[in-house]
Structure 1
Amino acid sequence: MRNKKRGLAIVASSVLAMSLLSFSTSAHTSASEQTVSKNYLIAYGQSLPKDYQTAIKKAGGEVVREIKEIGGLEVRSTNPSFLNQLNSNSIVAVNVEKSYKITDGDPAGADGKPVTLQEDSDGTYWSLQWDMHRLTNEGKSYAVESGGTKTSSGVVHKAVVGIIDSGIDASHPDLKANFIGGKNFVPAGGYNNSVPAEQGNPSDVTDTNGHGTHVAGSIAGNGKVKGVGPDLGIRAYRIFDSSGSAPTAPIVAAIIEAANDGVDVINMSIGGFDNLKYYNEGTRYNDVADVILWKRAVQYALNKKVTVVAAAGNESLNYADKKSLTDYMNAAYGDENLIYKGVAIETPGGTPGVMTVSSSNKWSRDTLAFYSNYGNSFIDVAAPGGDNGPVYDATRDLAKRDFTYRTLSTWPTNLPPNKATTLTPNYAYLHGTSMAAPKVAGIAGVIKAEHPDYTPSQVEALIKKTAFDFGKKGQDPLFGSGEANAYTALTGK
């Protein structure tokens, strides 16, 4: 997707914090640019054919990544006729690869009114965590199930959440007891050799962005801030390089890796749109290979009894209105050469088997956070992702924002303070469906700790059954089954 640059970005805009997920695109490379390198995603049958290396090489391609468990390949080629020359007998689908992106933007200009955190008398920030107060019934859920057991030698984790994101600060004082490793999927030099500082060390999951560490604190923080399961184990699957971008293949590969590692839950505070038919310079394209491999990867995880949770996205879109999604893509990213005409599919949120989470806020039981996507048969549950407060919601006046309505969590110790919202080192206020999804992943984690034999469908059913019925009575397009809650899920009360 470097050449397409279509997909989800986690960005800092003039309105939304870095945590919000948005979508960026540029035109495809012209076929006349003979030396341009493109990455392709190929979906074969359920397994790779024996001669795939030879077929790729003959067509002028180079295998970048194999995802054998789901019959997938990432391939790079400078041959403009690569697709035409590729032996497609055993190929189900192939498309130019997508790219997901994180950019920090200009936090000083974006927000510029940072707050300084004031510690409680016990040295924590518990009084500032309105989201955790609500999710845990004022901390009562911790006494029921915290996700692990403390021993003289440390914490024995009863369940583990895999976080596919920008990495985790393993040395953070609120996270280090629960961090149990992970894997880096970013190659040396970064994607397309765009980040020379990247060394390609598989064990380097250092968070150079902040997003993954904030997500991790919402799941398993245990210090000045608390997560949903303060004794849950967390594993990092770093798929964003330090420039903030990643193609599709390492993300689905990370799902496979996490499932093989035996995690109980996967959280993906990422997402984007695939399109089943679009035209660039008159040539028809599609993202079918992406859709297929997303489906296979999620199903692979489900078969391994892994609950998969994803953010709904932050474009304020009604996912059930398919025409509006295509219109949105054309308005935001299309031009006279790039025209979207097919059905748009949100991935991973729209992938079967994924629990998709919208973002609720502190001050309303009837409306979502202003940025959150929604839609019938799309949203499973909501969770607190925060916003800028009711005054901003009514006026959309940037001067009326109150950052304390966002959600507080951990920030990397290796990065300067997040001056967009907080002057205090190692903690930050962020808002977005990125912040909502890990709350549900944390709830799924403590459920698995309490009921290790539960299948993903049983975990999901319990979360939905015990959610608070916000919005219209019963299932609704904003909150799905309601706002998820750890205490009610663990106690049934």
Structure 2
Amino acid sequence: MVDIDRRTFLTVSGATLGGIATGSTVTAATRTDRFIVQTKSKGRLDGLDVVHEMPGVKYAVVEGSENELRRSKRVKDFAPDVEITLNEPEANAQAPTFEAADASDYEGQPGDFYQWDKADLNVPEAHETTEGEGTRVAVIDSGVLETHPDLAGPLNLDLSRNFTGDGGDHNPVGGDDHGTHVAGIVAADNGGGIGVNGTAPKTDLVDCRVFSGEGASFADVVAAVVYSANVDADVANLSLGAYPIPRQANGQFYGKVLNSAMTYANKEGTLLVIAAGNDEADLQHDKNFISLPNEGAQAVSVSATGPIGYGWDADGDGEVTDLAAPPESPAFYTNYGTNAVTLGAPGGDADSDAIGTGVPWFNDLVFNTVFTYEDTDGDGEPDTQVPGYGWKAGTSMASPNVAGAAALVKSANPNYSANQVEAALKQAADVPEDYDKAYYGSGYLNIVDAL
């Protein structure tokens, strides 16, 4: 038996196809009936069932056989779509949640106590200038629960879409609350009452669901990026990633497809804010592999930071106000690389030794909107999504903090292009003293100065 460490396992397991996930461990498989095609010219793809047309780019997603694709005079190149399953980090699974009906308690704390990420980013001060009015943010994820009281206001039901073809609407399937949490970080609006606030609570939120249960599709993600541009989203958040993907063979084709969609979105004014990934990987020195979509064209790639000891005695001196690590310190799981990361932002951290000890270790994660999946009819099977609040960590949580900040910059500067919004965020950011630039790119997110 050969010993393989975690990083080597990720490289070996992903070497053929890579994978897309919201967690840190992924598996992937190709489909034999669904393909991404590069088209030669305008006209119909005869004999093929078109799933996504993707107007604006010379690609489409189709169902059919390889023989049909080879016979088509309009198909220049193609590769199979990739179906992905995910496994989220353990810390997220162990973090507590509670229902919105219990929000008045907050274990004796107001909701804003738990939102260390918003406090560290001075979001209340930024809101004195703008709360994101006049902007639109697309969340490409696992779906946003429209019945959550803090998301019902920002969510645009007319534009929200399901890209999976599973027959449902934009709302999440089963108990997958990842997209609901991400959307809350961007735009939750508690109306000044009990609950949580996002960075840009007055933005127009568009839900693009690309996950169906635990599965997602590379082609659906690309189609959602193009759709976001075509509905005039100022920002699109992608808290998902594929790593490691080889730069050769199919990986080269997937990269070309993605870069085409991302370049188109940027040209149309949609800034793409993307999680850097949770593999603890040095993306700057990983030789023949690439991380997508965060290393794709025009991406704002976001690494994660977080405190250790927020609201609990992490160093054992009897004081709950002491931190073993500040909010701007790199999270243990985050990917990094000077040219592979654009900005660092709060995504939450965790001390694995603290889990199960009784201390509130989960306070170091990011607190926002979630839901529980409960058995409300008594048949022993979960059947109802009940709105609530809870904690998660990941570059998936850091990315929407930047997406919300981008919406604020755009709101304050309506004439800015996507590149100008990105430039404002980068120019305002600084690398924290005594920390490695490789974890931050241009630096740690500074919303107030970016405005």
Same-fold call, TM cutoff 0.5:
yes
For 1:154, the equivalent position in structure 2 comes to none
SS in structure 2 of the partner of residue 293 of structure 1 = helix
Q: 1:349 to 1:401 in 2, by over 3 A?
A: farther
CA deviations on 1:304-356 (whole Å, 9 max, x unpaired) are 11111000000110001123xxxxxxxxxxxxxxxxxxx32211100121100
Code of the residue aligned with 1:344 in structure 2: it is: F
Structure 1 position 172, deviation (Å): 1.1
Length, aligned pairs only: 398
SS in structure 1 of the partner of residue 179 of structure 2 = helix
Whether 1:66 and 2:53 are equivalent positions in the alignment is yes
Structure 1 position 5, deviation (Å): 7.1
CA deviations on 1:41-94 (whole Å, 9 max, x unpaired) are 22235xx443x623xx3xxx6443322421112233455x567x4457861x42
Structure 1 position 146, deviation (Å): 1.1
For 2:131, the equivalent position in structure 1 comes to 146
Code of the residue aligned with 2:21 in structure 1: it is: A
Structure 1 position 174, deviation (Å): 0.8
Q: 1:229 to 1:397 in 2, by over 3 A?
A: closer
Identical amino acids, percent of aligned pairs: 26
Q: Distance in 2 between matches of 1:398 and 1:463?
A: 38
Q: Distance in 2 between matches of 1:113 and 1:184?
A: 29
SS in structure 2 of the partner of residue 172 of structure 1 = coil
Q: Distance in 2 between matches of 1:457 and 1:416?
A: 47
- Contact residue 467 and residue 482 of structure 1 kept, 8 A: yes
Whether 1:427 and 2:385 are equivalent positions in the alignment is no
- Contact residue 175 and residue 222 of structure 1 kept, 8 A: yes
Q: Distance in 2 between matches of 1:440 and 1:186?
A: 24
Q: Distance in 2 between matches of 1:370 and 1:112?
A: 17
Structure 1 position 288, deviation (Å): 2.7
For 1:196, the equivalent position in structure 2 comes to none
For 2:162, the equivalent position in structure 1 comes to 185
SS in structure 1 of the partner of residue 128 of structure 2 = helix
- Contact residue 384 and residue 436 of structure 1 kept, 8 A: yes
- Contact residue 20 and residue 216 of structure 2 kept, 8 A: no
Q: 1:358 to 1:77 in 2, by over 3 A?
A: same
Q: Distance in 2 between matches of 1:114 and 1:426?
A: 7
For 2:371, the equivalent position in structure 1 comes to 412
For 1:41, the equivalent position in structure 2 comes to 36
Q: 1:353 to 1:247 in 2, by over 3 A?
A: same
The structure 1 residue matched to 2:81, chosen from 97, 111, 128, is 97
Code of the residue aligned with 1:111 in structure 2: it is: Q
Code of the residue aligned with 2:171 in structure 1: it is: T
Q: Distance in 1 between matches of 2:96 and 2:415?
A: 47
Q: Distance in 1 between matches of 2:104 and 2:350?
A: 19
Deviates more, 1:458-467 or 1:36-45: 36-45
For 1:136, the equivalent position in structure 2 comes to 122
For 2:171, the equivalent position in structure 1 comes to 206
Q: Distance in 1 between matches of 2:442 and 2:91?
A: 35
Code of the residue aligned with 2:19 in structure 1: it is: G
For 1:264, the equivalent position in structure 2 comes to 234
- Contact residue 207 and residue 412 of structure 1 kept, 8 A: no
Code of the residue aligned with 1:408 in structure 2: it is: F
For 2:312, the equivalent position in structure 1 comes to none
The structure 2 residue matched to 1:239, chosen from 210, 225, 233, is 210
For 1:282, the equivalent position in structure 2 comes to none
Structure 1 position 398, deviation (Å): 6.9
- Contact residue 266 and residue 307 of structure 1 kept, 8 A: yes
Q: 1:287 to 1:175 in 2, by over 3 A?
A: same
Any stretches of 5+ residues in structure 2 without a counterpart?
1-15, 308-324, 377-385
CA deviations on 1:130-168 (whole Å, 9 max, x unpaired) are 11101126x2211121113xxxxxxxxx11111111111
Code of the residue aligned with 1:166 in structure 2: it is: S
Q: What TM-score, normalized by structure 2, do the two folds share?
A: 0.79
- Contact residue 304 and residue 394 of structure 2 kept, 8 A: yes
Q: Distance in 2 between matches of 1:221 and 1:318?
A: 33
- Contact residue 96 and residue 390 of structure 2 kept, 8 A: no
Q: What TM-score, normalized by structure 1, do the two folds share?
A: 0.73
Q: 1:63 to 1:176 in 2, by over 3 A?
A: closer
CA deviations on 1:365-387 (whole Å, 9 max, x unpaired) are 77410110001211000100001
Whether 1:458 and 2:402 are equivalent positions in the alignment is no
Structure 1 position 358, deviation (Å): 0.1
After superposition, the CA RMSD in angstroms is: 3.2
Structure 1 position 397, deviation (Å): 7.3
- Contact residue 237 and residue 400 of structure 2 kept, 8 A: yes
Structure 1 position 113, deviation (Å): 6.9
SS in structure 2 of the partner of residue 287 of structure 1 = helix
For 2:113, the equivalent position in structure 1 comes to 127
Whether 1:215 and 2:199 are equivalent positions in the alignment is no
Deviates more, 1:352-361 or 1:221-230: 221-230
Q: 1:478 to 1:416 in 2, by over 3 A?
A: farther
Structure 1 position 117, deviation (Å): 7.4
CA deviations on 1:227-269 (whole Å, 9 max, x unpaired) are 111222211011111x221222221111111111111111000
The structure 2 residue matched to 1:53, chosen from 23, 29, 45, is 45
Q: 1:173 to 1:415 in 2, by over 3 A?
A: farther
Whether 1:373 and 2:335 are equivalent positions in the alignment is yes
The structure 2 residue matched to 1:307, chosen from 240, 248, 271, is 271
Q: Distance in 2 between matches of 1:360 and 1:107?
A: 15
Whether 1:350 and 2:295 are equivalent positions in the alignment is yes
- Contact residue 385 and residue 407 of structure 1 kept, 8 A: yes
Code of the residue aligned with 2:45 in structure 1: it is: Q
CA deviations on 1:10-33 (whole Å, 9 max, x unpaired) are 2xxxxxxxxx3433235x6xxxxx
Whether 1:476 and 2:446 are equivalent positions in the alignment is no
